[in-house]
Amino acid sequence: MNVVKTILATSLACIAFPAGTLSQTSLIDRGKQLTEQVAKCQDCHTPRTAAGELDKTAWLRGVRVDPVADPVRSASGKPHVHIPDITAEGTLWMLWGEKGMLRFLEKGSSPSGATPSSHMPTYKMRHDDAEAVVAYLKSLRRSVPPATPGPGPRR
Ligand code: HEC
């Protein structure tokens, strides 16, 4: 009986795998859209270049606002607000983990129950939206290998 169960589980896993991979990709895409088009996290969490453009090389990696250089962003009047890196490589993820980030997006408070000060909007996202955003933030790693590496010559 156990053998039958194992075989069944194995074959199910084989069938489920490609579908799972696909839906993970679309989850990340949805998260990217929610993050960038709807919530616009990058407007505050991405540093700007000298020309005032969002710095694509530091996407969502946090900003230390200098109230003199950037009076708009420091409109709260608080000196040097630290806007954290929200990618999965940031310190915040190390402290909060995936569950903490999910909770933050769904409930608007940190794992310790604290709500952010100043200009961070309070989000009450739907669970599946929060999951999509988390999947996207998790996908932002500097050292990600290409999703589908080509056959290319070996070096
Ligand atoms: C209008 C500007 C703005 C937008 C848009 C914004 N943030 Fe923030 N965020 C901030 C600021 C400012 C802080 C720092 C607040 C503080 O230290 O209390 C912050 C802090 C955070 C924190 C840490 C909170 C804590 O308690 O330490 C997380 C996590 C976060 N933001 C995630 C996001 C995500 C995810 C999005 C998009 C879904 C987003 N933020 C959009 C301005 C923004």
- Reading the block at residue 69, the tokens are 């250089």
- Domains in the chain: how many in total? 1
Residue 23 alpha carbon to ligand 1 centre in Å: 27
Is 129 a residue whose pLDDT tops 80? yes
Please report whether residue 80 resides in a domain: yes
Please report whether residue 148 resides in a domain: no
What pLDDT is stored for residue 23 in this prediction? 81
What pLDDT is stored for residue 66 in this prediction? 65
What pLDDT is stored for residue 15 in this prediction? 41
**Lowest pLDDT segment from 15-24, 97-106, 124-133:** 15-24
Nearest 5°: CA angle at 132, between 123 and 100?
55
- Whether ligand 1 lies within 6 angstroms of the CB of 86 is answered as yes
- Whether ligand 1 lies within 6 angstroms of the CB of 39 is answered as yes
- Whether ligand 1 lies within 6 angstroms of the CB of 54 is answered as no
- Look at ligand 1, atom 37, and give the residue with the nearest C-alpha: 41
Please report whether residue 134 resides in a domain: yes
What pLDDT is stored for residue 119 in this prediction? 74
Contact call for residues 86 and 116 (beta carbons, < 8 A) = no
- Whether ligand 1 lies within 6 angstroms of the CB of 44 is answered as yes
Please report whether residue 144 resides in a domain: no
Please report whether residue 29 resides in a domain: yes
User: Radius of gyration (Cα) for the chain, nearest Å?
Assistant: 20
Contact call for residues 82 and 88 (beta carbons, < 8 A) = no
The structure tokens 């955003």 sit at 133
Pocket test for ligand 1, best of 45, 78, 115, 129 (most atoms within 8 A of CB): 45
What pLDDT is stored for residue 51 in this prediction? 93
Please report whether residue 20 resides in a domain: yes
Other beta carbons within 10 angstroms of residue 29's beta carbon come to 14
- Look at ligand 1, atom 31, and give the residue with the nearest C-alpha: 120
What pLDDT is stored for residue 134 in this prediction? 97
Residue 38 alpha carbon to ligand 1 centre in Å: 14
Residue 83 alpha carbon to ligand 1 centre in Å: 6
Average pLDDT over residues 23-49: 93
Provide the percentage of residues in the chain whose pLDDT is more than 90: 50
Residue 14's pLDDT band (cuts 50, 70, 90): very low
What pLDDT is stored for residue 121 in this prediction? 86
Long-range contact set of residues 12-20: C-beta below 8 Å, sequence gap at least 24:
none
Domain that holds residue 90: 2-139
Please report whether residue 149 resides in a domain: no
What pLDDT is stored for residue 130 in this prediction? 97
Please report whether residue 153 resides in a domain: no
